[in-house]
Structure 1
Amino acid sequence: MKGYFWGIGSVILTTLAQLCLKAGVTILPEFKLNHQWMDVNWLLENLPAFGLIFIGLIGYVLSMVCWLFALKFLALSKAYPLISLSYVLVYLFAVTLPWFNESATLIKFVGVVFILLGIWIISRPEVTRK
C-alpha cells in the first residue's frame, strides 16, 4: 500500500509539472539562444513564465523522489504502468482547462481508454496455477 501512495504522488507531481511547463513556455515570448538571456529587463518582464517553468522543474524533482520510494515498495511490473496515469491526467486537464486550448477528439479518447485498459490488465492480481 505504501508503494501505491508514493506512486500516486509521483503521478500527481509529474502531471502538475507537465502542466506548469506547458503554461510557462506558452506565455514565454519567442526567444533565441543569444544575448537576450543576458538582458535583465527581458528576464524580469517574463518572470511569471520562468516562475511556472521553475515550478514545473521542481515538480519533476519531487516526482522523482516519490518514484524512487514507489520503486522501493512496488514491483516494477506494478509501478511502471501506474506512472502512465500521468498521461491520462495531462490529457484530461489539457482538454478541460481553457488556457491550454487543446481539442478532445475520438482518437485521443480511444488512446486514453487503451492506456487505462493496459493499467487495469497489468495491475490485476496474478493468478497462480497449481
Structure 2
Amino acid sequence: MSLRRGVTFAMGSVLLVSAAQLAMRWSMTRLPAPEHLLTAHIDLAAVAVVTAAILAYALSMLCWLLALRDVPLGRAYSLLSISYALVYLLAASLPWFNEAFSLSKTLGVALVMLGVITINSRPARAPEFRSAP
C-alpha cells in the first residue's frame, strides 16, 4: 500500500508542476516586461494566475516530499519526467499557447515515456537500510 500511496503523491506532484508551468507560460505572455512594470497596464488576471502557479509549485513540492517517503528515488525521479510529456502535449494541443507539434519533439517525448515505462515496469524492491558499523 505504501508504494501505491507514494506513486499517487508523485503523480500529484507531476500534475501540479505541469499545471504551474502552463499557468506561468500563459501569464507571462500577458504581463509587461520588467522594465515596463511601472508604466504599463497590469493584467490582474495574469497576476492571479501566476500567484496560483506559485502555490501549485509549493503543493507539488509537498507531494514530492510525501512521495519520497514510500518510493525509491530512482523510480520516483523517473516519474517526474512525465511532466515533460504532459506540458509538451498540452502546450501544443491548447490553442492559447500557440505551440506546435514537431516530429523531433514528439519523438523525444516518446523516448522519455519509454524510459519511464522501462524504469517502472519491474516491481519495486523494498529499500535496504544498513546500520553503521
TM-score w.r.t. the length of structure 2 is 0.85
* 1:78 and 2:78 are equivalent in the alignment: no
Query: Cα offset for 1:121?
Result: 1.2
Per-residue displacement from partner, 1:86-120 (whole Å, max 9, x unpaired)? 11000010000000000100000000011001101
Residue number among 6, 11, 14 corresponding to 2:9 in the alignment: 6
Q: Secondary structure at the match of 1:29?
A: coil
Distance 1:118 1:9 in 2: 20
TM-score w.r.t. the length of structure 1 is 0.87
Residue 22 of structure 1 aligns with an amino acid whose one-letter code is R
Residue number among 101, 116, 119 corresponding to 2:116 in the alignment: 119
State the percentage of identical aligned residues.
39
Question: Larger helix proportion, structure 1 or 2?
Answer: 1
TM alignment of 1:29-44, pairs within 5 A: 29-32=32-35, 36=38, 42=41
TM alignment of 1:1-130, pairs within 5 A: 1-32=4-35, 36=38, 42=41, 45-125=42-122
Question: RCO higher in 1 or 2 (8 Å CA, sep ≥ 6)?
Answer: 1
Q: Secondary structure at the match of 2:16?
A: helix
Unaligned runs of 5+ in 2: 126-133
Residue 96 of structure 2 aligns with an amino acid whose one-letter code is W
Residue 11 of structure 1 aligns with an amino acid whose one-letter code is V
After superposition, the CA RMSD in angstroms is 2.0
